Amino acid sequence: MNPEFLRYSCQIALPGFSEQSQHQLQNARVLVVGAGGLGCPAAQYLTSAGIGTIGIADFDIVSESNLHRQVLYGPADFGLKKVAVACERLQKQNPDVKLVPHDVRITSQNVMELIAGYDIIVDGTDNFETRYLLNDAAVLRGIPLVYGAIYQFEGQAAVWNYKCPNGKLSPNYRDLFPSVNAAQIPNCAEGGVIPTLAGIIGCIQANEVIKYTTQTGELLAGKILVFDAQTMQSRVIKIGEATQTHITKLVETMVIPTLTADELKNDLAQSAVKLIDVRTEEEREEFNIGGEHIPIANVLANVDAIAQNNKTVFYCTTGKRSAEAVKIVKNKYPDANVFSLEGGTRLIDWND
């Protein structure tokens, strides 16, 4: 055996696997989008397996609520960029892998350039806008995408846009979900998620990448795996042999207007802004910075009244739900004077 492959000897010994398979992994370029609950375990096992180049795209920072499921981070990393911490930890895990950090928010303006040069994409995102954007970009670029999603005790995984031996492309995310009203679907902060589920689905995603790269096994293409962590039961649902969608261009992403904490403090001091907390009742009772309380699930029902305000700032813990609230209002009232608190309330000392 090639001495440089000693660390991979157990996978090379697999039936149907060989040193040639390891060379295929070594030559592969994989982009992991989202260094969170799914991206962490997926990236860890892809690094361990010896993928040659792994790009990690994320613009978020580490916060305390991440730690129960985002296993690359610890308390000492609070406030640091996830992509920087993840790449540093993974590089120590396997010095022979090339880690490429992409500290960017993915938009319709940069996604095509970002995914160019990669062989396959791992979708570890946690919002529908980016999920659709990645799906559409992957179709336009002709790159397969490994999908994963988790909520409470249930997880899903699939491989989209795989070129089958007959030349047809397998279904993509829009074949299964042509559109989704994100405002009606609670996120993990509201509905919760069991941490082990992130590891299970993230590992399944890594497994699909390895199978695709080495051309072994049967991919989750044309079907979706649904896993229940409470019953430990899983089922594979067939979607179809080929895509029925015709994606010809990207949907333009909305630029979310934001306010920094200092800007918000200044506006509050001058009573020049209306503040709306879009978190859950439990989160608000534990800590809040005042303002009206309209959970994200109720923003759409109150959109007419919100749009009449002179200036409104939505806030949540991380800035993700507040950004979604801005989108909801702007979709109906494009000129509404609404903002999202940049970065949310985490890591901000409101006693300054």
Residues 225 and 265 in one domain: no
The pLDDT tens digits for 42-51 are 999 999 999 9
Catalytic residue among 10, 87, 188, 203: 188
Residues 75 and 217 in one domain: yes
Q: How confident is the model at residue 87 (pLDDT cuts 50, 70, 90)?
A: very high
Residues 302 and 174 in one domain: no
Place of tokens 């992409």: 102
Residues 70 and 211 in one domain: yes
CB 52 within 8 A of CB 25: yes
Q: Look at residues 177, 205, 238 and tell me which one is the last residue of a structural domain.
A: 238
Number of domains composing the chain: 2
Residues 197 and 291 in one domain: no
For residue 352, pLDDT beyond 70: no
Residues 182 and 309 in one domain: no
Residues 89 and 231 in one domain: yes
Radius of gyration of the chain (CA): 21
Main-chain dihedrals φ then ψ at residue 148, nearest 5 degrees: -145, 145
Q: Look at residues 209, 238, 267 and tell me which one is the last residue of a structural domain.
A: 238
- Tell me the CATH number at 321: 3.40.250.10
Domain annotation covers residue 252: no
Domain annotation covers residue 348: no
Domain annotation covers residue 253: no
Domain annotation covers residue 97: yes
DSSP, collapsed to helix, strand or coil, labels residue 266 as: helix
pTM: 0.87
Residue range(s) defining the domain that contains residue 188 = 3-238
The pLDDT tens digits for 4-47 are 789 999 999 999 899 999 999 999 999 999 999 999 999 999 99
Residues 231 and 321 in one domain: no
The pLDDT tens digits for 253-307 are 888 999 988 899 888 888 889 999 999 999 899 889 999 999 998 999 999 999 9
Across residues 178-182, what is the average pLDDT?
A: 71
Domain annotation covers residue 42: yes
Catalytic residue among 40, 87, 203, 316: 316
Question: Which residues have a Cβ under 8 Å from the Cβ of 233 and sit 6 or more positions away?
Answer: 227
Q: How far is CA 177 from CA 59, 145, 341, in A?
A: 26, 15, 30
Residues 264 and 115 in one domain: no
Domain annotation covers residue 346: no
Residues 195 and 273 in one domain: no
- 87 catalytic, yes or no? no
Q: What is the pLDDT of residue 183?
A: 53
Q: Out of 46-55, 60-69, 232-241, which region has the weakest mean confidence (pLDDT)?
A: 60-69
Residues 272 and 320 in one domain: yes
Strands (E), the chain: 29-33, 53-57, 98-102, 120-123, 145-151, 154-160, 223-228, 233-238, 258-259, 274-277, 292-293, 312-315, 338-341
Residues 269 and 332 in one domain: yes
Q: Look at residues 238, 268, 292 and tell me which one is the last residue of a structural domain.
A: 238
Across residues 116-130, what is the average pLDDT?
A: 94
Domain annotation covers residue 247: no
Domain annotation covers residue 137: yes
- 203 catalytic, yes or no? no
Q: For the chain, first and last CA: distance in Å?
A: 62
How much is the mean pLDDT over the chain? Answer: 92
The pLDDT tens digits for 317-331 are 888 889 999 999 999
